[in-house]
Structure 1
Amino acid sequence: METPIERIRLSQTAKDQLIKLKRLTKIDQWNILCRWALCRSLAEPTPPSPIAIPQDSNVEMTWRVFGGEISEMLLLALKQRCYNDGLTIDKETLATQLRLHLHRGISYLSGDPNIKKIEDLIELATKN
């Protein structure tokens, strides 16, 4: 399956938020936290706000590293979400929506006062 983006570069704000999440959850890899963040945003009923996101940090990863073994599932979930939101699923739209969802999810996770350890992420994912 063709990837929507070759390299993902995060904003400095997202990097700072991920550093906080790494400290709280003890999850050391950026890509794993980013997968959690993408899924957190995709689970929201509303689409992310279409804002410009700077790519001004030194945190960068390839799609392959980002998605790992579940990259195809993540891409399918993103495509389904675009379809549900009435968007096209061309490469540019997918890349834009990936960045928007990823950054929104990082913000949501980092701002959640209930996330203090890795078990809190698991509880968040399994409730309802």
Structure 2
Amino acid sequence: MDSPIERIRLSQTARDHLIKLKRYTKIENWNILCRWGFCRSLAEPSIPSPVPIPADSNVEMSWSVFGGNMADILLIALKQRCHQDGLGTDPETLATQFRLHLHRGIGYLAGDSNLKKIEHLMAMVEQDNP
């Protein structure tokens, strides 16, 4: 499935949050932590605030690196969420909503005072799916 999102460049704030998350979780790859953040935001019922997010860090990846073997599933989840939120599924809307969800989710993970190791990420999933 072709994605309307070709390249992802993070803000410096998101990069700083990811560095903190890498230290706590010992997950070394940016893309895996970004997937966790994206999914964390999708799980939140509210629509992300439409705030401008600078692409001012040196962390950049392609959609295929971000999504890995889950890229199609993540794109479908994004489209479903946009539809659910009453937004369009045109390429520009998808790209904007992806960026907002990604950065919001990374911020949520980094701001979670209970997240101190990888087991705490897993506990989030178990808590949402008893």
Shared topology, TM-score over 0.5?
A: yes
Which residue of structure 1 lines up, in the alignment, with residue 114 of structure 2? 114
In the alignment, structure 1 residue 87 sits paired with structure 2 residue 94: no
Runs of 5+ unmatched residues, structure 1: none
TM-score (norm 1): 0.99
Runs of 5+ unmatched residues, structure 2: none
SS in 1 for 2:8: strand
Runs of 4+ off more than 2 Å = none
Taking the aligned partners of 1:79 and 1:6, their CA distance within structure 2 comes to 16
Which residue of structure 2 lines up, in the alignment, with residue 56 of structure 1? 56
Percent of aligned positions that are identical: 69
In the alignment, structure 1 residue 35 sits paired with structure 2 residue 29: no
Taking the aligned partners of 2:89 and 2:125, their CA distance within structure 1 comes to 26
Taking the aligned partners of 1:49 and 1:90, their CA distance within structure 2 comes to 19
Taking the aligned partners of 1:47 and 1:36, their CA distance within structure 2 comes to 18
Letter in 2 for 1:68: G
How many residue pairs get aligned? The number is 128
Once the two structures are TM-superposed, the CA of residue 2 in structure 1 deviates from its matched residue by 1.6
TM-score (norm 2): 0.97
Taking the aligned partners of 2:81 and 2:47, their CA distance within structure 1 comes to 9
Letter in 1 for 2:16: D
SS in 1 for 2:45: coil
Letter in 1 for 2:67: G
